[in-house]
Amino acid sequence: MKLFSAGIIAAASAQMGDMDMGGMMAQFMPMVEAKYNSLDHEQMHRDFMEDNTGLFERYFEFCDIGGDGVLTPEDDLACREKAINLIQSRIPFPLDDIGAMGLPIDQASAVTEMIFEKFIDLNHDGSTTLEELQMGAYCLLRTAAQLGLQFMGDQNAELPRSMFPDFDEMSEQALEAINSEEAQVYFRGHQGLYQKLQRTLSTRKIRKVFKSADIDGNNAYNDRELVKLLFLVGEKAVELVEMYLGN
Ligand SMILES: [Ca+2]
Ligand SMILES: [Ca+2]
């Protein structure tokens, strides 16, 4: 954890040290909101139904502690505790590392709350149904992808495949990382996971993920395809984490 978190903490604290997160979000929010409102929400729903990989269902199932089909603020707290306990019971190093991350939790949750109120809790009853979570989060991701493509995309608001590293290169670098001496410490006693990770990171598998995200096969990624890519990568990541945690 030290290895992986150190960089993030350094980057986050440098960023957040004297940055007013709330103020920044307030500045961005009208732009995000305008883009979000301009989406064709019925089309979004159809796209989601086709591209969904079940990530939100899994999250919902994991966090609906009360088992009543809605996520309440109490579920939210209990879920965080459940996740921390689960991690704590499996990792071979003390959780102090995570506790010491020192991320500005108050600010982060103020932002989360703003997003929850504006985009997720559509009927404003203070809790979240699976449908609210799915559509709210999906439309927000599409919004983010569209905004990102305005800056990084080509004239068709697409990200050409050539903007990503080569599949061989991606695979090679990822495999190098998991085969490093430091990383090997984490795989002790987790040979099954290590082997699965190696398969997942093969050139062939990476190519397959990128290929299935490119719905129209034009070798470029529009906002829908970028979100689909994220879903596919997320699905693999969840599989690996579940394997690690022995679920
Ligand atoms: Ca609600
Ligand atoms: Ca495409």
pLDDT of residue 102: 47
Mean pLDDT of 51-70: 93
Q: Where are the domains of the chain?
A: 1-152, 160-247
For residue 154, give the ligand nearest its CA: 2
Q: Which of 3-12, 68-77, 85-94 has the lowest mean pLDDT?
A: 3-12
For residue 71, give the ligand nearest its CA: 1
CA–CA dist 99, 150 (Å, integer): 37
Centre of ligand 1 to C-alpha 114, Å, is 14
pLDDT of residue 8: 46
pLDDT of residue 45: 97
For residue 157, give the ligand nearest its CA: 2
Centre of ligand 1 to C-alpha 139, Å, is 16
155-200 per-position pLDDT tens digit: 999 999 999 999 999 999 999 999 999 888 888 888 899 999 999 9
Percent of the chain with pLDDT over 90: 60
For residue 70, give the ligand nearest its CA: 1
Centre of ligand 2 to C-alpha 66, Å, is 41
What's the token pair of residue 143?
């919004």
Centre of ligand 2 to C-alpha 226, Å, is 9
The class of domain 1-152 in CATH terms is mainly alpha
Centre of ligand 1 to C-alpha 128, Å, is 4
Centre of ligand 1 to C-alpha 46, Å, is 21
Centre of ligand 2 to C-alpha 222, Å, is 6
How sure is the predictor about 50, in pLDDT bands with cuts at 50, 70 and 90?
A: very high
pLDDT of residue 217: 98
How sure is the predictor about 224, in pLDDT bands with cuts at 50, 70 and 90?
A: very high
Q: Which of 5-19, 57-71, 201-215, 223-237 has the lowest mean pLDDT?
A: 5-19
For residue 141, which of 227, 237, 44, 48 has the smallest C-alpha distance? 227
Contacts of 240 (CB under 8 A, 6+ apart): 193, 196, 197, 200
For residue 126, give the ligand nearest its CA: 1
Centre of ligand 2 to C-alpha 112, Å, is 31
Centre of ligand 2 to C-alpha 211, Å, is 9
Burial group, residue 229, by CB count within 10 angstroms (0-12, 13-18, 19+)? buried
